[in-house]
């Protein structure tokens, strides 16, 4: 057993040297866990942020001015006054997302007890901004109108008062979510690519024949490739979480980083073994890429990182419950956002460990078969 560990360690060292000489892959790893995280966190917004807005003010009243002053940054840009033709032209060209049309005698009609209409035109091609922005504007306008009225406006009222309390992300900042989920995405992609590239590179360069004449087994070669590349991704992902996400972006980590590291290591081993299994199926790097992309795409789309699993059809939820990516996203959110402990995430962790074992055994069998054909 001691000899086995020494052999695997020496083979891991060989893999590390091979990766160090591959500048493209090293650059990809550095970019994926630094700049890519920052770009996604700062560029992909799930909330309304600096949305363009204009007012067509045909009332010119104190209330219409107060409505305009209530629309403030950082949710919206400073509102501009436009005429109807300019507003339509800018909506058509996509330089405006919202146009608020305040009709003549709007304030006078409100004070007289009538129910005038306030028209909001929206460019719905900016889907996220449009959907949430209308809700933001409704809330702003209702509060401003209520403050301006000398008495409550007549009309139906709810027999209760809503008091929302947002947990785990009180300001609903999308960067808190997207940055961590981007790490999960990059771990999945790079774990598959690195191990697959390591196997196919050896085969295409003919250096795998050199390994066959050494006193090493196929299992030792396979384990070394998986462990060496998995350790690189594991360290890069942890550093990205602590330095880029936590320190640079200021995202709080509610739970145990040590527990997350344990789960991350199990997940990286599972996905790396999957990458090796795919590499034994594909004969060359282009075919490996064509095979890996749909595997990753399906795993990502069904993981819950983009769309909550609870929103998916019931049958699909039962099927994707066995996928390690789905379980890893679930436990990542539980640990880092909600501060969950091992007693909460043990079941997703168990699914990941079982998946790692199954992928690893399958990869070893196929790798031995591949080496036998090479020999």
What CATH number is associated with residue 63? 3.40.1710.10
Note whether residue 162 is domain-resident.
Answer: no
Give me the residue label for tokens 């795993």.
Answer: 299
Same domain, 212 and 135: no
Between the CA atoms of 122, 127, 131 and 136, what dihedral angle is there, to the nearest 10 degrees?
-80
* C-alpha to C-alpha distance for 173 and 251, rounded to whole angstroms: 10
pLDDT confidence of residue 157: 53
Same domain, 116 and 265: no
The pair phi, psi for residue 51, each rounded to 5°, is -75, 140
- The whole domain housing 59 covers 53-148
Same domain, 128 and 250: no
Note whether residue 161 is domain-resident.
Answer: no
pLDDT confidence of residue 247: 94
Give me the residue label for tokens 């081993």.
Answer: 269
For 119, the 3-state DSSP assignment is strand
Give me the residue label for tokens 């809503």.
Answer: 162
Note whether residue 360 is domain-resident.
Answer: yes
| Sign, Cα dihedral of 324, 330, 335, 336 | positive
Same domain, 197 and 249: yes
Same domain, 40 and 57: no
Sequential pLDDT tens for the chain (375 residues) = 778 888 888 888 888 888 888 888 889 899 999 999 999 888 777 778 888 999 999 888 888 899 998 888 888 989 999 998 898 899 888 889 899 999 898 888 888 878 888 888 998 887 778 888 888 888 888 888 888 776 655 444 556 566 777 888 887 788 898 899 999 999 999 999 889 888 887 777 766 666 667 777 778 888 888 999 999 999 999 999 999 999 999 999 999 999 999 999 999 999 999 999 998 888 888 888 888 888 888 888 888 887 888 888 888 888 888 889 999 999 999 999 999 999 999 999 999 999 999 999 998 888 888 777 765
Distance separating the N- and C-terminal Cα atoms of the chain = 26
Same domain, 107 and 222: no
Same domain, 16 and 79: no
Alpha-helical regions (H) of the chain: 2-20, 23-32, 35-43, 62-70, 84-93, 106-111, 127-148, 174-205, 208-212, 218-239, 257-281, 285-301, 314-320, 324-332, 342-374
Same domain, 36 and 58: no
Asked if 47 and 172 count as a contact pair (C-beta separation under 8 A), the reply is yes
Model confidence, pTM:
0.81
Note whether residue 231 is domain-resident.
Answer: yes
Same domain, 242 and 358: yes
> CA angle, 350 as apex, 339 and 366 as ends, to 5°?
135
Note whether residue 159 is domain-resident.
Answer: no
pLDDT confidence of residue 211: 65
Same domain, 104 and 227: no
pLDDT confidence of residue 162: 67
The pair phi, psi for residue 102, each rounded to 5°, is -95, 115
Note whether residue 155 is domain-resident.
Answer: no
Same domain, 369 and 248: yes
Same domain, 210 and 267: yes
Note whether residue 160 is domain-resident.
Answer: no
| Sign, Cα dihedral of 191, 193, 196, 202 | negative
Report the domain count for the chain. 2
Of 269, 165, 231, 298, which is closest to residue 15 (Cα–Cα)? 231
pLDDT confidence of residue 154: 47
Note whether residue 156 is domain-resident.
Answer: no
Give me the residue label for tokens 């436009």.
Answer: 82
Cα 34 to Cα 44, 190, 242, 244, 306: the distances in Å are 16, 14, 11, 6, 20
């Amino acid at each position: 057993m001691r000899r086995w560990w020494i052999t695997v360690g020496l083979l891991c060292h060989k893999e590390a040297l091979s990766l160090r000489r591959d500048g493209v892959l090293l650059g990809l790893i550095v970019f994926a866990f630094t700049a890519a995280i920052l770009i996604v966190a700062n560029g992909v917004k799930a909330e309304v942020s600096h949305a363009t807005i204009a007012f067509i003010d045909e009332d010119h009243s104190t209330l219409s001015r107060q409505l305009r002053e209530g629309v403030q940054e950082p949710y919206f840009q400073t509102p501009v006054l436009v005429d109807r033709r300019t507003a339509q032209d800018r909506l058509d060209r996509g330089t405006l997302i919202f146009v608020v049309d305040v009709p003549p005698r709007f304030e006078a009609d409100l004070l007289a007890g009538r129910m005038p209409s306030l028209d909001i035109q929206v460019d719905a091609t900016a889907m996220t901004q449009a959907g949430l922005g209308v809700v933001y504007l409704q809330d702003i306008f209702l509060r401003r109108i209520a403050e301006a009225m000398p008495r409550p406006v007549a009309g139906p009222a709810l027999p209760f008062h809503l008091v929302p309390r947002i947990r785990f992300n009180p300001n609903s900042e999308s960067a808190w979510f997207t940055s961590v989920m981007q790490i999960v995405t990059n771990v999945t992609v790079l774990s598959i690519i690195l191990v697959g590239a390591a196997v196919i590179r050896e085969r295409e360069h003919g250096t795998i024949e050199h390994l066959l004449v050494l006193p090493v087994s196929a299992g030792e070669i396979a384990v070394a490739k998986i462990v060496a590349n998995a350790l690189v991704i594991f360290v890069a992902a942890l550093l990205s979480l602590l330095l880029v996400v936590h320190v640079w972006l200021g995202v709080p980590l509610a739970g145990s980083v040590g527990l997350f590291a344990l789960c991350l290591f199990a997940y990286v081993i599972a996905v790396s073994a999957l990458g090796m299994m795919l590499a034994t199926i594909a004969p060359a790097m282009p075919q490996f890429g064509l095979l890996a992309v749909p595997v990753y795409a399906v795993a990502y789309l069904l993981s819950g990182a983009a769309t909550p699993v609870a929103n998916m059809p019931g049958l699909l939820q039962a099927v994707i419950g066995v996928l390690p990516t789905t379980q890893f996203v679930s436990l990542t959110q539980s640990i880092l956002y909600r501060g969950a402990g091992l007693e909460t995430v043990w079941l997703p962790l168990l699914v990941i460990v079982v998946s790692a074992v199954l992928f690893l055994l399958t990869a070893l069998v196929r790798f031995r078969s591949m080496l036998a054909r090479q020999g």
